[in-house]
Amino acid sequence: MKNPVVYLDYNATTPVDPGVLEEMIPYFSVKYGNSSSRHSYGFEAESAAKVARKRISALINGDPDEFYFTSGATESINIVHQGVAKAYSSQGRHIISSNIEHPAVIESLQYLKQNGFSISFIPVNSEGLIDLNQLGREIRKDTILVSLMAANNEIGVVNDLEIIGNICSEKNVLFHTDASQALGKLEIDVMKMKIDMLSFSGHKFYAPKGTGGLFIRQKKPQIRIAPFFFGGGQEKGIRPGTLNIPSVVGLGKAAALCMELFSEETKRIKSLRDQLFEGLKKNIQGLVLNGSYEARLPNNLNLRIKDVRADKLMMELRDLAFSTGSACASGSDKPSYVLKALGLDDESVYSSVRLGLGRFSTSFEIDYTINRITEAVNKIRNYPQNKRN
């Protein structure tokens, strides 16, 4: 019997949790009202959206009135960057980010740069971490926004959001974080961490693709976002358009499950990740972790294997689903800019793979993965052309 493919790409996307799907189904065909309609079907849909808004807000310790539904992190990030730039340009035109942000952040900020804004991309060290002292020094009188991710999508390295939030608050600068990789895996508290705006995608934590959200603080301080979508007035004009109620319901249920399962799930997944890392390190010489081990998501490993190109490894491992980098950059033959930012040469970058675990990963799958990767590495290293070298 052929073995099923072991899924090891949870940082790219997650399957919809069965409990999420079950809660969504009635809103496709039975509870199909438009939440803007003023009759029983509409009120039912509106009520479902309110429940979802409360569930998601609880996950980040925010106020439901400060949360907005979007199609995902990319849209949310653009709303933040373009909306803040337009609303606060009279106060300054300088924005700070890092050089390993998601393309949605980098490209949105590059657009602003082309339109007269000054953008500072802080470099990271070999561990993938920014110098927090440098962040403080980079903030100027004309700085209006700091936009830094909670956790990196490729190497899984985590920023200290509380320290960053305090720095921004003391300097009276707005703080936005892309929490797509962190939500459901790390504790996120927008109040404690003094986060002014937070964006995320639902498909990273077992909700449907095409769902996401945006937190915009409305109290101490009240953040102004200039809209650049128009028509209908939904979501207080920030993101007008008819709400996708089935997906909104799914997003809320996924958030509720993350809260319910958080402690046990995080501990279990981290244990599996450590089992995988230790097993591979024991069996494979020349295996190195990319990025910090301590400041890392509990489900992520980004590894480079000496003398083994990642594309050749993938060819040998059709029974494992993993990534050679970010899925958002798939199709590109350029070396990962995130790994290059760590100081790696091209050979090391092309020898790197990302392994992501999740809710449905098992210990059996981890043992199987250790054995299969070990076999494949030994086979590649014994290719005649490699032996000649």
Q: Would you name the residues annotated as active-site residues?
A: 328
Measure the N-to-C terminal CA separation of the chain; round to a whole number of Å: 38
Where are the strands (E) in 266-356, listed by range?
287-289, 300-305, 320-321, 352-356
Strands (E), the chain: 6-7, 67-70, 94-98, 118-122, 143-147, 174-178, 197-201, 212-216, 287-289, 300-305, 320-321, 352-356
Question: Do 139 and 96 meet the contact criterion of CB atoms below 8 Å apart?
Answer: yes
- Burial class of residue 3, CB neighbours in 10 A (0-12, 13-18, 19+): exposed
Write 227-230 long-range contacts (CB < 8 A, 24+): 227/83, 228/79, 228/82, 228/83, 228/86, 229/79
The two tokens of residue 360 are 């449905």
CA 318 from centroid of its chain's CA atoms: 26
As a whole number of angstroms, the distance between CA 221 and CA 197 comes to 11
Residue with tokens 């199987």: 368
